[in-house]
A and B are shown apart, each in its own frame.
Chain A
Amino acid sequence: MSEVEIFRSEVKTWLADHCPPEMRMPITDDEICWGGRDFVFINNAQHSWLNDMAAKGWTVPAWPKAYGGGGLNGDEQKILAEELGHINARSPLQSFGISMLGPALLKYGSEQQKLLYLPQIARGEIRWCQGYSEPDAGSDLASVKTKGVDDGDDFIVSGQKVWTSYADQADWIFCLVRTEPDAPKHRGISFLLFDMKSKGVSTKPIKLISGSSPFCETFFDEVRVPKTNIIGGRGEGWTIAKYLLTHEREMIGSSDLLFGGDDVCGTARDAVGLNDDGQLDDAILRAEIGNFIVDEMAFDAHMDMTKGYMRAGNQLGARSAELKYLGTELNKTRQSLLMASGGANALTWEDAGNIVPQAPRAWLRSKGNSIEGGTSEIMLSILSKAILKMPS
């Protein structure tokens, strides 16, 4: 057997022994393991699956072993992903630490910072949130006003963030703070990390049209942050912020959650039904679904190619914007078609049972996909400048 074959057979055996049956069922939003100090596991299976995977370094298979990763090469990562797919294994841990902060720390963190923060992320011990947007800094993110006043060994941070995902459940925050008030807009920002339990931090969930509250307003009232918690140098935060955003966009564009959910064809078949020719009893909806499935196959193919491109050691850079744009627009179409396919069934907001109807909530929530992490319009602007080199 070749080395990769040996690796595959080891992975198979290990997964057979360690992935509990409960962790091989389709996952819902409420069953995601986010980790963190206060996380309550839904069952023992979820807990042991996280611990076992973390012990192997497989919550972050591509990271170096020294930082809690698996140290796997591109081929091995692919094999692991395939074998996890074969048994329908749930992701043991989902976190902004893995998908966003981690890559930024790996690139810009000091050795000491990497050794401190990365293993905690890999083991799911600390749950992170992202302090980026502010009431007056949305698409124009570099105009953040949250200030960090120099005070000896510390910065005193004051201001307000908004659209902070799960800030109310997070342990730590990575935050864009203006520490150099006299520097030009893009050079005055520093990338700070601090504990959400620090004195002066408060959060307030924002209720969305979907009824859920995944985002918060986050307030800082003279929060004391040690200067050692800065990543990169003072005023270098924008570079790190942009790099991290490429990973965020990649994550949003490729999120399994975005593409989980119900199958459009199946939903339509069940709800609308078929005519005597065995075709959907709504010719126009059928045609719309047809266009959608072709787009979906194109996007899936593109994701596949992208994964191969990254496994070969390439960085996506500005091209993360194309995944984000295509993936989120596609998901909005999917959710709209699911609503149309479900007809009146899909309109139910509350029913007699205990199950909360997902269709209308998922549809409404999807409207934010093309806003969060940079709007579709910002993605197109990035691509026109960075890739197509169009003039400013």
Chain B
Amino acid sequence: MEILIEDHQMLLDSATGYLAKKQNVAAFRALRDADEPLGYDVAAYKQMADLGWMGLVLPEEHGGSDFGYRAAGLIAEQMGRNLTAMPFVSTAILSVTILREVGGEMLSEWGMKIAMGECVVALAIDEGVKHRPEQIKTQAVRDGDGYLLSGDKTFIADGMGADRLIVSAMLEGELALFWLDPLEACFGTSCCDLAPQRLLDHRNYANFHIKNCRLNENALIAKGELAERALTKALCVARVVVAAEQLGMAKECAARTVEYLNTRKQFGVLIGVFQTLQHRMAHLYCELEQTSSLVAQALNAIDENAETAEKLSRAAKAKVAKLGRLATEEAVQMHGGIGMTDELDLGLFMKRDRVLAEFLGDANCHIDWLLREQNI
């Protein structure tokens, strides 16, 4: 029901066309079957940067367009519809947002590289089976003019092959963000190990084992209040961009299912005539509609720096997690047996949906936050 501004509509139209043609579900399936550790196409990544998508939330002086997070969400939604595999959220959203908060030379040097599609930067925050960014066990201690870092990070999206990692750790009782080159950190030492984490959506994830890894003083990019602010902001915005991607997947599953119900015949009739299926599809449609509005409202609130942004971000992530499950389960069930086959794409959506439901926090963790905010 949202009415887009003209710039956003144009961006959306071009993204829809490009992704459906070049980075569609068939392209993702080919990547999966090739079983490449990177999980995405480097040439396509550069193309995406040329389209300006890596700089959507970067200021113009750093090579971006500063189109904002609503625009990023529109792109992410189309990536969801096409199952496009790209280091978009990791680099263009999470890392760029942290760099923006950090500012200075870090932003001017790396902002430009990201906008040009010349590097991938991944964020290492999670440590356990659930997303608990406020409970960090990774420790940094001062060591002369540098730091020694130890800990175990997991579920690092686009961590394999990343040019840089941003690692959250505790330093002198405060949150700190470290910037490191995983090749350099791991090279010729036994202190670090960046290993692929093979998840069911066949994307690029890494585990990062760090033991007394020596970092120089420049590696610390934010500490204390700045680190808290940068990480909070990055998680707030990325959560909704991820939600937008997952929303796009849910919409695609619903669209394919309606199409199927309107062509498949049993008992001599189109199965779409059965009211029980009509009502389930219409219910799903209503849920898609209101969830779309919530995601759009959350992204708009972020772009407007509204006080409600954090709350809306949490709600959007939680709501989409529930919607995604409904959409993928209904899609498989209503397709019947064929929905269970690898040949049909629905399984690819279902697997990705399950991963995104956990990524950056599941519905329960965000609902719990919302309830705490209500003092219950």
B360 to chain A, nearest CB (A): 16
Mark each residue of chain B from 230 to 267: 1 if its CB lies under 8 Å from any CB of chain A, else 0.
00000000000000000000000000001001100000
Q: Tell me the nearest residue of chain A to B314, going by C-beta.
A: A294
Q: What are the residues of chain B within 8 A of A387 when measuring CB–CB?
A: 282, 285
A265 within 8 A of B: yes
Q: What are the residues of chain B within 8 A of A279 when measuring CB–CB?
A: 371-372, 376
A284 to chain B, nearest CB (A): 13
A42 within 8 A of B: no
Of A94-102, A143-151, A303-311, A365-373, the segment with at least 4 beta carbons within 8 Å of chain B is A303-311
Assess whether A297 is in contact with B319, with CB atoms less than 8 Å apart: yes
A319 within 8 A of B: yes
Q: What are the residues of chain A within 8 A of B297 when measuring CB–CB?
A: 301, 304-305
Docked complex: A81-102 residues within 8 A CB-CB of B:
none
CB within 8 A of A301: which of B258, B293, B368, B375?
B293
Q: How long is the Cα–Cα vector from A326 to B278 in the complex, in angstroms?
A: 16
Interface size grouping (class) on chain A: 35 or more
CB within 8 A of B294: which of A302, A380, A388?
A302
Query: Provided the pairs A265-B376, A290-B370, A304-B297 are in contact, do residues A384 and B281 lie with their beta carbons within 8 angstroms?
Result: yes
CB within 8 A of B261: which of A289, A297, A383, A390?
A390
Docked complex: B269-287 residues within 8 A CB-CB of A:
270, 272-273, 275, 277-279, 281-283, 285-286
CB within 8 A of A265: which of B319, B322, B368, B375?
B375
B289 within 8 A of A: yes
Q: Tell me the nearest residue of chain B to A304, going by C-beta.
A: B297
Residues of B within 8 A of A (CB): 1-3, 258, 261-262, 270, 272-273, 275, 277-279, 281-283, 285-286, 289-291, 293-294, 296-298, 311-312, 315, 318-319, 322, 363, 367-368, 370-372, 374-376
List 9 contacting pairs A-B, 8 Å CB cutoff, sorted by A. A278-B372, A291-B367, A294-B319, A294-B322, A302-B1, A302-B289, A309-B1, A391-B273, A392-B273
Query: Provided the pairs A280-B376, A383-B286 are in contact, do residues A377 and B279 lie with their beta carbons within 8 angstroms?
Result: yes
Q: What are the residues of chain A within 8 A of B294 when measuring CB–CB?
A: 297-298, 301-302
A140 within 8 A of B: no
Q: What are the residues of chain A within 8 A of B315 when measuring CB–CB?
A: 293-294, 297-298
CB within 8 A of A302: which of B290, B367, B374?
B290
A301 to chain B, nearest CB (A): 4
Q: Tell me the nearest residue of chain B to A269, going by C-beta.
A: B376
Q: How long is the Cα–Cα vector from A302 to B312 in the complex, in angstroms?
A: 13
Q: How long is the Cα–Cα vector from A387 to B312 in the complex, in angstroms?
A: 28
Q: How long is the Cα–Cα vector from A392 to B374 in the complex, in angstroms?
A: 46
Q: What are the residues of chain B within 8 A of A54 when measuring CB–CB?
A: none
Q: How long is the Cα–Cα vector from A301 to B240 in the complex, in angstroms?
A: 14
A312 within 8 A of B: yes
Assess whether A295 is in contact with B319, with CB atoms less than 8 Å apart: yes
Docked complex: A252-290 residues within 8 A CB-CB of B:
265, 268-269, 274, 278-280, 286-287, 289-290
A197 within 8 A of B: no
Instruction: Kindly list 19 other residue pairs between chains A and B, CB separation below 8 angstroms, not including A326-B286, A380-B282, A390-B258.
Output: A265-B371, A265-B375, A286-B376, A287-B367, A290-B368, A293-B315, A295-B319, A298-B291, A298-B315, A298-B319, A302-B1, A305-B1, A312-B3, A322-B290, A325-B282, A379-B282, A383-B285, A383-B286, A388-B281
Assess whether B376 is in contact with A380, with CB atoms less than 8 Å apart: no
Assess whether B293 is in contact with A381, with CB atoms less than 8 Å apart: no
Q: What are the residues of chain A within 8 A of B371 when measuring CB–CB?
A: 265, 279-280, 286, 289-290, 293
Q: How long is the Cα–Cα vector from A290 to B83 in the complex, in angstroms?
A: 30
A299 within 8 A of B: yes
Assess whether B290 is in contact with A326, with CB atoms less than 8 Å apart: yes
Q: Tell me the nearest residue of chain A to B312, going by C-beta.
A: A297
Assess whether B289 is in contact with A390, with CB atoms less than 8 Å apart: no
Q: What are the residues of chain A within 8 A of B368 when measuring CB–CB?
A: 290
Assess whether B279 is in contact with A381, with CB atoms less than 8 Å apart: yes
Q: How long is the Cα–Cα vector from A350 to B376 in the complex, in angstroms?
A: 29
Assess whether B285 is in contact with A388, with CB atoms less than 8 Å apart: yes
Closest A-B pairs by Cβ, 5 of them: A384-B278, A290-B367, A302-B293, A380-B282, A302-B290
CB within 8 A of B258: which of A269, A308, A388?
A388
